[in-house]
A = this chain, B = another copy of it.
């Protein structure tokens, strides 16, 4: 089966999925995106992702490309047409196609929409989670509006590539005060030696992760101790556990930060438990 993508009103073969070279997403990074997990044939927390998409579009003053219900239908269709049971669905909206000019284009220019989906291996992800990952710290060098989920991801690309070249799977941004902000494409968490879960408030310098929000619910449910505050890289080095969260990795244990082993070098019990029970706290949309 060839993969199918949705591009500006049409379902096309993935190989043929193309946008004009003067799409503002291509020349100005003038667009936003969302990635939802597909789990057992259902889309995880789509309403929350669409709520965040609404906020991102609003911050950039990009119009909704279609009614929300119609857009949700398209997303479900793309998942269904690609027969994804476990995987991801990717949603991108840009300010549309117009002759290159930094200023917003005329009112009549419609936003561009791309939706793609693909299967991922649950076994491979679980095997990775059983081992844990290494993260590599990186000086925070992004613009301050990282609360908007934009496609201007070049800084994240470079930070993550640096992590990879230093044996890691994720970068942790560290601000000038020595505090971890977030990962290159994940939110960052630690569990302190006294068992307290810590993550940075979404109000300052990070994206408000959907998976992060689910974890906050789970923490309540599970009766865990939690502090929402910045933590330093030094504190992370000495943590009992660490993990990252994102729709693409759910809860992924971190067993090394830079050259420092976290805890006993194996995924911690809190991280592992949160990963196991994750889908008890999510909402599902049938495709």
| Interface of A toward B, CB cutoff 8 Å | 5, 7, 17-30, 33, 60, 90, 92, 99-100, 102-104, 114, 116, 118, 141-145, 150-158, 160-161, 164, 184-185
Select A18's contact among B19, B28, B164, B185, beta carbons within 8 Å. B19
How many copies of the shown chain assemble into the complex? 2
Indicate if the CB atoms of A145 and B152 lie closer than 8 Å: no
Q: Is the interface of A mostly helix, strand, loop or mixed?
A: mixed
Q: Which residues of B contact A60 (CB under 8 A)?
A: 154, 158
Contact assessment for B160 and A143 in the assembled complex, using a CB-CB cutoff below 8 Å: no
When A5-B21, A21-B7, A21-B116 are in contact, do A103 and B28 touch as well, CB less than 8 Å? no
Contacts of A23 in B (CB 8 A): 26
| A141 contact from B18, B102, B144, B151, Cβ within 8 A | B144
Q: A7-B21, A102-B184, A145-B141 are in contact. Are A29 and B152 (CB under 8 A)?
A: yes
Do A154 and B156 have beta carbons less than 8 Å apart?
A: no
Residues on B with C-beta less than 8 A from A90 are 100
Q: How far is the CB of A15 from chain B (nearest CB, A)?
A: 8
Q: Which of A26, A152, A184 has the most CB of B within 10 A?
A: A26
Chain B nearest CB from A2 CB (Å) reads 14
Give bound CA distance, A151 to B257, whole Å: 31
Q: Which B residues are CB-close (under 8 A) to A154?
A: 28-30, 60, 150-152
